[in-house]
Amino acid sequence: MTTSVTPTTDLDSTELRKAFGAFPTGVVALAGMSGAEPAVIVASSFAVGVSQEPPLVMFAVQQSSTTWPILRELPSLGVSVLGESHTDVIRQLSAKDKTQRFAGVETTVLSSGAMLLDDAPVHFECAIESSHTAGDHEIVVLRVTGLANDHSKQPIVFHRSAFARLSA
């Protein structure tokens, strides 16, 4: 069997997106309170295990995001690994209409202002450690300052532009 690789100068953006989508990823909500207003972005680019000492995680956000400039200024962010119970709200949380993102979504706001989505399999409380420009995205490294892990809940996976459940 012979495999051919398309040179980067000939890449079609749709095919590139499909290729990236072939890699299953978890989905997280990064949220916090900006004054009295909640702000959230949903990311499938989240990576854990960047470092254990110090405890670091990371994600990538589009530079065109209108929510990231708000979240970037907060002292603490809540990172909720989204689970099976969040399937119906994932697209709502990332909708263009920011006024309806949290309608009917149960959350907990920590004293730091970090916001967590209830019923998530894993919660992290984080502070921004550093960020780096990477093409049309910003790679953000977060320092974990707190966590909660509920082994009874299963995460949701994003694969080939669809949300899927893990099976044993």
Per-residue confidence (pLDDT) for residue 14, from 0 to 100: 83
* 84 in any annotated domain: yes
* 154 in any annotated domain: yes
Query: pLDDT (tens digit, 9 = 90+) per residue, 20-31?
Result: 777 788 899 999
Cα gap 108→105, rounded to integer Å: 10
- Specify the CATH number for the domain of residue 54: 2.30.110.10
* 118 in any annotated domain: yes
**Residue pointed to by tokens 């995001």:** 65
- pLDDT at 163 exceeding the cut of 90: no
* 2 in any annotated domain: no
Query: pLDDT (tens digit, 9 = 90+) per residue, 98-152?
Result: 888 999 999 999 999 999 999 999 999 999 999 999 999 999 999 999 999 999 9
Domain that holds residue 127: 25-165
* The pTM of the whole model exceeds 0.85: yes
Number of domains present in the structure of the chain = 1
* 63 in any annotated domain: yes
* 47 in any annotated domain: yes
